[in-house]
Chains A and B, each alone.
Chain A
Amino acid sequence: MSFLEVNDLKVHFPVRGGFFNTIQDYVYAVDGVSFKIDEGKTYGLIGESGSGKTTIGKAIVGLEKPTAGEILYYGQLVNKKRLRKKLGYNKEVQMIFQDVLSSLDPRKRIRDIIAEPIRNHEKLTKEEEMKRILTLLDIVGMPSDALFKYPHEFSGGQRQRIGVARAVALNPKLIVADEPVSALDLSVQAQILNFLKKIQKDFNLSYIFISHDLGVVKHMCDYIYIMHRGRFVEAGTREDIYNNPQHIYTKRLIAAIPEVDAENREEARIKRIKVEQEYSEKESIFYDENGKVFDLVPISDTHYVAIKNKEDLGYVENSIA
């Protein structure tokens, strides 16, 4: 059952200029996206940098004010601070930031960093609070002597876990994880990913998992949204996206992943060139004359593609075959 619903969300940032420093134009960072979040599921959000992923995440947790559209939590609007407070929404929806270090106050000890959300939302005695923090550290696999250290004393992977500990402190329903492993080495990345999966099972969490690494998204996500220019170009299950990509942007993204496969690199290169060519030839089918992405249309129960005429898909398919 879906507990969070986003309808036609738009976040536009004004660009100021001119003689009176008036609004000249807008950055259409997020320009009309809709989706639903079910319990215990992981949703991937992929796209190149600047496509609007972080902005969607921030709008969901209430850090960015939507220009238009609605965010519904159990059917109730949560676009105002007052409404979020009434529903305890801020407790239930947390975010893990890409750049953890800058999201952790360098002058605070880990103990206070993790306690902060608890103190904001719950009244606990000192002992209860300490017990909770120790449990959290244990969950994220950090020793208890971390309590009195400062953020800079930890490695990237450890900081990421602190970010996770803080995010799960209030036992939320949904965590927006913004590129949580992008800056980490492979083995540390594996650790964090395993861990996110484990606590998902334990707490029946949902994730919105933001990344530009398609391998990681494939590993983590049940359902995937591909973003480009502030809109979704394609949405579908893991199988829909990886085995049957339809939008040229998705195809291009997938073709660009360097697979750990040294034997077939020549084939991969040829495929890449072909897709690149298709991308420039078929642009008008997938983007309108202003370069805007069309609305999503269903091509199966789970699979959606942003295209003007569904009939064109067949044409595209045939032309590459």
Chain B
Amino acid sequence: MWKTVLRRVLLMIPQLFILSIIVFALGQAMPGDPFTGLITPQTKPEAIEALREKAGLNNPIPVQYKDWMVRILRDGNFGQSYTYKMPVSTLVGNRVANTLWLSLLTVILIYLIAIPLGINAGRYQDSAFDKGVVIYNFISYAIPSFILGLIFLLVFGYKLHWFPTGGSVDLGFKKGTFDYAMNKLYHMILPAITGAVLGTTGTIQYLRNEVIDAKTQDYVKTARSKGVPTDKVYSHHIFRNSFLPIAAFLGFTITGLLSGSVFIETIFSYPGMGELFISSINSRDYAVMNTLVLLYGFLTLLGSLLSDIIMTIVDPRIRIE
């Protein structure tokens, strides 16, 4: 199996290469350049021109691309953010960590909510509990994410003051201390719950259907015909099979959350990748934007690889050799 993983990782190289060309081409196609924002009526055109020359923006396009790639690969230099005045790698690095923690918490919450709800709704199909779950599902499906986010923010943030309304950590905590970590967690809870409520819809629905479907499978009938007690039929035979598609989807769920974080982070002013992405678009901070697109692409590829690996672990029928 490790051979396949290695092969898939190697395969990611050309994929990323193509992605980088697309990203670069898009950057070229955009109107303006990083210096456009610096132009004021007082700026001399020659000064701008000098800056452009110095930054290599007057070189032929393939050379510019090569230079860009060389800087990234050799020096880990993704350029300089013009709005934040710091290296993109440092900037993005902090933000990525924030988003990863938020996504992780969201995934955990999703499964904590969705698994018991989905499984029991499926097991006790048409019971009052099941009907309640179906209604919950319907509501969480119908509400657009930003509205739910705003409602939570308003109620639990501004009105009740239970949770902070922005940021990822308060000032005055020392990095690495326990209190620092708890404060970070405290900031993540509200956005994570919002993301989780939205994320549960599909998962609950899916699990419920899988359980209902699994109940009618022949192997379940076989298990019952062996005299396996009902609880064991569920725990040994039905649930495990029902988890398969969910597990297979875990990789995609995570990448989905990473990119879906754009809305939630913006609403909660949570300093993560998504929020950075939006602000970099607004300020035409191409170096940041390009880096983030590359990163999203990379994470998507990683997510699908992760899904495949999980799949081969949980489902013996799928053998990657």
Identify the A interface with B (CB < 8 A): 17, 19-21
Contacts and interface: CB of A to CB of B under 8 A. Distances in A.
A19 B5 CA distance: 10
Contacts of A20: 7
B321 A17 contact: yes
A15 to B, nearest CB: 11
A203 to B, nearest CB: 43
B175 interface: no
Contacts of A17: 321
A21 B321 CA distance: 10
5 contacts: A17-B321, A19-B3, A19-B7, A20-B7, A21-B7
Contacts of A21: 7
Interface string B4-41: 00010000000000000000000000000000000000
B2 to A, nearest CB: 11
Contacts of B7: 19-21
A14 to B, nearest CB: 16
What is the predominant secondary structure among interface residues of chain B facing chain A?
helix
A21 B8 CA distance: 11
Interface residues of B, number: 3
Contacts of B3: 19
A23 to B, nearest CB: 14
A20 B7 CA distance: 7
A20 B4 CA distance: 9
A20 B3 CA distance: 10
A238 B7 CA distance: 54
A148 to B, nearest CB: 32
Nearest to A20: B7
A20 B321 CA distance: 11
Contacts of B321: 17
A72 B134 CA distance: 62
B108 to A, nearest CB: 36
Contacts of A19: 3, 7
A97 to B, nearest CB: 25
Nearest to B321: A17
Interface in B271-321: 321
A67 B135 CA distance: 57
A21 B11 CA distance: 12
Cβ-closest 5 pairs across A and B: A19-B3, A19-B7, A17-B321, A21-B7, A20-B7
Interface in B221-266: none
A17 B3 CA distance: 11
A263 to B, nearest CB: 35
Nearest to B6: A19
A14 B7 CA distance: 20
A192 B3 CA distance: 52
A184 B43 CA distance: 86
A209 B266 CA distance: 67
A27 to B, nearest CB: 17
B105 to A, nearest CB: 38
A17 B7 CA distance: 11
A17 B1 CA distance: 12
B15 to A, nearest CB: 15
Nearest to B11: A21
Nearest to A17: B321
A21 B320 CA distance: 11
A34 B150 CA distance: 74
A205 to B, nearest CB: 40
Nearest to A24: B321
B107 to A, nearest CB: 32
A129 to B, nearest CB: 42
A20 B11 CA distance: 10
A20 B6 CA distance: 11
A21 B3 CA distance: 11
B12 to A, nearest CB: 15
A173 B312 CA distance: 49
B305 to A, nearest CB: 15
Nearest to B3: A19
A18 to B, nearest CB: 8
B6 to A, nearest CB: 8
A19 B321 CA distance: 9
A19 B3 CA distance: 7
A309 to B, nearest CB: 41
Interface in B54-93: none
B3 to A, nearest CB: 6
A17 B4 CA distance: 10
Nearest to B320: A17
B8 to A, nearest CB: 11
B7 to A, nearest CB: 6
- Among A19, A20, A21, residue most surrounded by chain B Cβ atoms (within 10 Å): A19
